[in-house]
Amino acid sequence: MLVSDFDYYLPEELIAQQPIEPRDRSRLLVLDRQTGSIDHKEFYNLPQFLQPGDTLVFNDTRVIPARLLGVKPETGGKVEVFLLNRTTKDEWEVLVKPGKRARPGTVIAFGDNLHCQVIDTTGFGGRVVRFSYQGVFEEILDELGETPLPPYIKEQLTDKERYQTVYARERGSAAAPTAGLHFTRELMEKIKSMGVNLAFVTLHVGLGTFRPVTAEDITEHVMHREYYSVPAATADIVNKTLAAGKRVIAVGTTAVRTLESAGSTGQLEAKSGWTEIFIYPGYEFKIVEALITNFHLPKSTLLMLISALAGRELIFKAYREAVEQRYRFFSFGDAMFII
C-alpha cells in the first residue's frame, strides 16, 4: 500500500479558517458502511443516529500552550521549542527550530524565570530538555507559551477556548482532538438523556497524530509514541456495552487509537502507558464499531485510519462528495459519522 493511494484533490478555499458558531451547527456527513449510503445533516442531528445503550467515548485531553519562543543567552539567537511529551516532572520531548544548533548542553531562556537545557536527542529528530524555573510550571507556561494552531490555519483565533473541547480536562496535548469541537454541553446532555453512555479516555496528542508519512510504502511508517490513559469506569462501561451487543462509538481518531491500544484482547483494560499504534487498511478493530471524525489531510495517518474502518473506496467516495458539496475541511471544518 502506497502513501499516494491516500491522496485526493482539495480546493484550498475548503480548508476552514475559523470555527462555526455555535459549535453544533457544523455540517455532518453520515456514511453507512453497510449500504454505502451518504446522508447530509447538521451536527445537532447526531442524536437521531444514536440508540439507547450505545457508548460515546471522548478524549478529554486539553491543549497546552506548547510553543515557547526563547533565545540562546550566549549568542542571542532565537529558538522555538515545541513541547510534545512530558517524560518526567521537568523533562520533555520537544521539537526545536533551528534544531542543528541545539546540541546537548545548549541552554535556552524564555524570559527571566524559565530556562531549559538540551540533555539528549531523540530518534525522530527532536530533543529532550530539562526545564528550570521558580514557581508552578503550568502557570509559567500559561504566561509565556502560545497555543499552537495547525499550519494550514492562517487566521488568528480570537477565543483560544474554541480550540478546546467543552469537556477538555487533562492538560498535555500539542493539538486538539478536533472531532470533539462540535459538541456543546447541551448536546451532550441531550444524548445522555436518551440512555446513551458518555465515557472518557485521555490521549495527549503529539507528533504521532500529525507527523506526515514520509515512507512510500505506508507499512514502513513508524508512529511516534503518545501517552494515553483509560480509567476503570470507562473500561467498565465499554465492556458492558460490548457484552450487550451495543455500539462503542469513538469521538475522534485519538479515541480510536486509545481504545484499540488498550483493547487488543477484545476487552478494554483500565491502563495507561504509551502507544505507537498505526491503524491502516487491513487492521481488524477490537473495540470500535463507529466513529465521529473530521475530514483529514491527504496522505495522513488519520485518513488511513478511517479507511481501515470503512474501506478506502467508500471513504474516497464520501470525500469526493464532501468536496462537491463544499464541506469545510480539517480542524475547524465539518464532521463525518461513520456508522
What is residue 212's predicted lDDT score, i.e. its pLDDT? 81
pLDDT at 325: 98
Q: What does the alpha-carbon distance between residue 92 and residue 81 come to, in Å, rounded to a whole number?
A: 10
Q: Are strands 127-133 and 38-42 parallel, antiparallel or unpaired?
A: unpaired
Q: How many C-beta atoms lie closer than 10 Å to residue 208's C-beta?
A: 24
pTM for the model stands at 0.94
**Dihedral of the CA atoms 184, 186, 187, 190 (nearest 10)?**
160
| Cα angle, residue 252 at apex, residues 165 and 218 outer, rounded to 5° | 135
Identify the CA nearest to 8 among candidates 310, 223, 322. Answer: 322
Q: At what angle are helices 301-310 and 312-324 packed, to 10 degrees? A: 110
Q: What is the pLDDT of residue 246?
A: 98
Length of the chain: 339
* Helix boundaries (H) for 229-311: 232-243, 253-261, 301-310
**What's the pLDDT score for residue 284?**
98
CA 135/CA 298 separation, integer angstroms: 43
Nearest to 122 by CA among 85, 173, 151, 149: 85
How many whole angstroms separate alpha carbon 335 and alpha carbon 337? 7
Helix/strand number for the chain, H first, E second: 7, 17
Asked whether the bond before 98 is cis by omega within 30 degrees of 0, the reply is: yes
Three-class SS of residue 13? helix
Cell triple for 132: 528550570
Q: State the architecture of 67-144 in CATH terms.
A: Beta Barrel (2.40)
| Model pLDDT, residue 209 | 66
Rounded-to-integer distance, Cα 262 and Cα 258, Å: 6
Please list the pLDDT of the chain residue by residue as tens digits (339 residues): 999 999 999 999 999 999 999 999 999 999 999 999 999 999 999 999 999 999 999 999 999 999 999 999 989 999 999 999 899 999 999 999 998 889 999 999 998 999 999 999 998 889 999 999 999 999 999 999 998 888 899 998 889 899 999 999 999 999 999 999 999 999 999 999 999 999 999 999 986 666 788 889 999 998 988 999 999 999 999 999 999 999 999 999 999 999 999 999 999 999 999 999 999 999 999 999 999 999 999 999 999 999 999 999 999 999 999 999 999 999 999 999 999
For the chain, where do the domains classified as CATH 2.40.10.240 start and end? 67-144
Q: CA torsion 98→101→102→107, rounded to 10°?
A: -110
Round to the nearest angstrom and report the end-to-end CA distance of the chain.
Answer: 25
Given phi > 0 = left and psi -120 to 50 = alpha, else beta, which region is 172?
left
Q: Does CATH number 3.20.20.140 belong to domain 3-63+158-338?
A: no
Q: Which residue has the cell 458502511?
A: 33
What are the CB-based long-range contacts (under 8 Å, 24+) for 308-317? 308/279, 308/280, 308/281, 308/282, 308/283, 309/33, 309/256, 309/285, 309/338, 310/31, 310/33, 310/338, 311/33, 311/281, 312/5, 312/6, 312/281, 314/31, 314/33, 314/36, 315/31, 316/8, 317/36, 317/38
DSSP state of 217: B
The dihedral built from the CA positions of residue 79, 80, 83 and 89, taken in this order, carries a sign that is positive
pLDDT at position 291: 99
Where are the domain boundaries for CATH 3.40.1780.10 in the chain? 3-63+158-338
Is 79 exposed, middle or buried (CB count within 10 Å of its CB: 0-12, 13-18, 19+)?
A: buried
